[in-house]
Structure 1
């Protein structure tokens, strides 16, 4: 009996496909994280207290984004496999279901954000100035909870159907608008009132509303291939709903609990002092600039590998995922080095005290060293496991690592042993070491290689 020959993936074709699919997603992610960097730099120029206030306020938005991204990511696995089958009608149904669920969930963020922002902030910090400055930011920007709940699922659908340049262009317009409005309303330029932190919230809210308007315009007014009548988005049948929920809810729980874990980290950091939290906020913003761009390869992995799984090409899907993971690790090594080398110049944009700059430099250095490991783990959890519907296992690994390892280590270091902030950040990275061992074993087992749509 002959052994199966190894699958050969033609490099030129793969890189061309990645340039078409992954590169626009990476650029969009870079623009999205640049929006946060622009906000942080502009607000940070006002002082460390203002930077800390916006950073703490953004924790609620960060958790919400995790929930939206989670369900959209779980839905993308189905969209990708339906795209592989050429079933556009089912993609519309999955998109409509994702939007409906995301809008419903977002109300649980919008209501407390609009009416009880100070209570939310007190969960993350005991610094009175940060609560006072941050409550108005949350209240004004709370409209973003509703806009994002629609733009994220539609963006996922555009990406899956290989229309990645559309979200890229829309994000570029949103970034430009946000930056210009920040310039007007934070500092009071061109006759506008100088509103400081509130000005940043107004700029963010307007740019998100514009982003939603452009997405809806492109899809429905310009008659995109995703456009359809209302019943095509809401005419769900039970097998589809059941499978999407079974796959998507673990991803939503995964991203929600991960986001809450990161917010819990920040709740501990926020009790270490204004300087310490400002250093964390700036470091995380810079790190995110790199991480989001790299993790766009995870979205590409869901799309490209998911299409193969939808066609029943299991061996090719496994080989392709293995190749993409390898590329991801190389990119992680390069990006980690670039992060460390560029951090000195980027951090000088912030209005830090010498101690705050020292803390931030050390934290960014730790992030750079651990980046290849973080990228490998992330691409497995966000990419390979999800595209095959292995979302329950991915959820257990991610949530377990954060809450059973990361959170206890951060609270012990920050609030029990009162260690320096950079050492606490180093302790938090222990979760990545454990995840790596588990992810390697699961990937090699091939238990994630599944066709989700063959019987729908």
Structure 2
């Protein structure tokens, strides 16, 4: 029995999906990295303030991403069965949920910025810079959500190039406006943190506008109309709640957990905040292929089941696991080799530089586990219809093990930021053992009717 599938159509579907989704994601993360680098050149305090606000943005990304991934589990199967009407109905439900959540988060951070940021740090200078950034950038939440839901719907029918094109344009807009508004170039006022926030908001508006034009005017697969998003099917809604709720909850728990991780490090000083911001931003960029492989795997597995080709699930799963491991090895090596050059771009204190390099060294090891277990569970297992398992697994590891131990290490045992960081990332290796057993038992293939 061969480990790797020899069917060329499998690779012709998988690799273009991974490549384009990865390119789209890398551009999206480079936008955040550009904010980090430019604010780091402007002021370490501004960098730290924006970093805390980005933890809130990350929570929104995880929740909206969960809504999108829950959609993909269903819409990819509908695509395999050529049920376009159900794809439209599922997209309408995802859009409604996403906009409600984005609006609620906007209200919370706009009206209570100081209270929200004080959850992460007691540094008043950092809170002040973060407030300036947050009260502008929060207006991007709804635009970001609409764009993300539409792109998730298009991705489920294997339309991914538009996402890459939109991200490229967004990157250009963001970097150009950062250059103008952070430092006061080309006759513009130097606004620092507020300039970065205006640049991000403008980029989000532009990308949403382009995606809407494509989805409503150009796309010929779904042929979505605005009126389609105003009709909620009770039957599809019940189905989505059953399938999608665990994915949304899992995303929300993960987003909150990352915010708590930032808060734990944030209470260890401004240097730890800045170092974690740098390491996290770089990590997101170099792991885009791993995250793209999860999305691609979910589409491939769900579509295969929608087409009624259940016998192909086992060989596809074996091949995907080999690909995940190779991606992890390459990503870890890349992160390790690039860390010095990237940290050298920042105008930071020697202590922050040392911590950032140590954090990235740790991540270059744990990313191998991330690149295997994350797409195995959130891609293969979710794509097969078992959406509850990942939620339960994250609940046990993150909330039952990692966060309690890390909090005690930081506040009770007074461990160093590096040792606390190791505790925070240990689950990425531990989850691999669970993933190997779960994936290769094949009990995750479920009906979603």
The normalised TM-score by structure 1 is 0.95
Task: Work out whether 1:45 is the aligned partner of 2:28.
Answer: no
| Residues in 2 aligned to 1:37 and 1:231: alpha-carbon distance in whole angstroms | 37
Higher alpha-carbon deviation: 314-323 or 223-232: 223-232
The 8 Å contact of residues 265 and 407 in structure 1, kept in 2 or not, is answered as yes
Instruction: Go from structure 1 to structure 2 and tell me whether the alpha carbon gap of 1:8 and 1:338 turns closer, same or farther (over 3 Å shift).
Output: closer
1:416 deviates by 1.9
1:152 deviates by 1.0
Q: Deviations along 1:409-429, whole A, 9 cap, x unmatched?
A: 221222222222111111222
1:320 deviates by 0.9
| Residues in 2 aligned to 1:132 and 1:23: alpha-carbon distance in whole angstroms | 40
Match of 2:184 in 1: 188
Task: Work out whether 1:376 is the aligned partner of 2:358.
Answer: no
Match of 2:56 in 1: 60
1:11 deviates by 5.5
Q: Give the unaligned 5+ runs of structure 1.
A: none
| Residues in 1 aligned to 2:395 and 2:140: alpha-carbon distance in whole angstroms | 26
Match of 1:110 in 2: 106
Higher alpha-carbon deviation: 429-438 or 17-26: 429-438
Higher alpha-carbon deviation: 247-256 or 217-226: 217-226
Match of 1:255 in 2: 251
1:184 deviates by 0.5
Match of 2:260 in 1: 264
The 8 Å contact of residues 3 and 318 in structure 2, kept in 1 or not, is answered as no
The normalised TM-score by structure 2 is 0.96
The 8 Å contact of residues 34 and 175 in structure 2, kept in 1 or not, is answered as yes
Q: Deviations along 1:208-250, whole A, 9 cap, x unmatched?
A: 0111111111111335433334453344433321111111111
Task: Work out whether 1:431 is the aligned partner of 2:427.
Answer: yes
| Residues in 2 aligned to 1:429 and 1:267: alpha-carbon distance in whole angstroms | 15
The 8 Å contact of residues 309 and 451 in structure 1, kept in 2 or not, is answered as no
Task: Work out whether 1:225 is the aligned partner of 2:221.
Answer: yes
| Residues in 1 aligned to 2:79 and 2:335: alpha-carbon distance in whole angstroms | 36
Higher alpha-carbon deviation: 346-355 or 230-239: 230-239
1:63 deviates by 0.6
Instruction: Go from structure 1 to structure 2 and tell me whether the alpha carbon gap of 1:43 and 1:153 turns closer, same or farther (over 3 Å shift).
Output: same
The 8 Å contact of residues 339 and 368 in structure 1, kept in 2 or not, is answered as yes
Task: Work out whether 1:304 is the aligned partner of 2:296.
Answer: no
Match of 2:94 in 1: 98
Task: Work out whether 1:396 is the aligned partner of 2:399.
Answer: no
Higher alpha-carbon deviation: 285-294 or 249-258: 285-294
| Residues in 1 aligned to 2:405 and 2:391: alpha-carbon distance in whole angstroms | 20
The 8 Å contact of residues 312 and 451 in structure 1, kept in 2 or not, is answered as no
1:6 deviates by 7.4
Higher alpha-carbon deviation: 33-42 or 312-321: 312-321
| Residues in 2 aligned to 1:230 and 1:61: alpha-carbon distance in whole angstroms | 27
The 8 Å contact of residues 27 and 168 in structure 2, kept in 1 or not, is answered as yes
The 8 Å contact of residues 381 and 398 in structure 1, kept in 2 or not, is answered as no
Match of 2:416 in 1: 420
SS in 2 for 1:250: helix
The 8 Å contact of residues 336 and 372 in structure 1, kept in 2 or not, is answered as yes
Task: Work out whether 1:75 is the aligned partner of 2:101.
Answer: no
State the aligned residue count.
449
1:293 deviates by 3.1
Compute the RMSD of aligned alpha carbons.
1.6
1:183 deviates by 0.4
SS in 2 for 1:91: helix
| Residues in 2 aligned to 1:280 and 1:71: alpha-carbon distance in whole angstroms | 27
Correspondences of 1:277-296 after superposition (within 5 Å):
277-296=273-292
